[in-house]
Amino acid sequence: MKSKLVVRMAELVIDPNQLEAYRAHLAEEIEASVALEEGVLSLNAVSIKDSPHRIRILEVYASKEAYEAHLQTPHFLKYKGETATMVKSITLVDAEPIIMRGKP
């Protein structure tokens, strides 16, 4: 039986005075997660045009177990600790995939 994908969107508001530092931490965390975790299928971060401090992250995991394992990794815990004062709000939205395609 194939595991069900976990797809979620994280909607973040970042302190504009710390945006550059936040983006560096986010890039480091995403790179490590995709490279080191088999269950992390994709992590894509974008900012809202004209509001660069409003960040959206589309997260795709192979399963609930992969998502839960991701939350315990050293690189994710480091990211959470280093950005705790930078993130002014976060909303996590669970999503159901309709169609997801990409090119390598």
pTM, two decimal places? 0.92
pLDDT in tens, 11-67: 999 999 999 999 999 999 999 999 999 999 999 999 999 999 999 999 999 999 999
pLDDT band at 102; cut points 50, 70, 90: confident
List, for residues 72-91, the tens digit of each pLDDT value. 999 999 999 999 999 999 99
Instruction: Identify the CA nearest to 26 among candidates 70, 83, 88, 81.
Output: 83
Please enumerate in sequence order all residues whose Cβ is within 8 A of that of 104, keeping only pairs 6 or more positions apart, or say none.
none
pLDDT band at 3 (very low <50, low <70, confident <90, very high): low
Per-residue pLDDT, 66: 97
Domains by residue range for the chain, with CATH: 6-93 (3.30.70.100)
Do the Cβ atoms of 32 and 42 come closer than 8 Å?
no
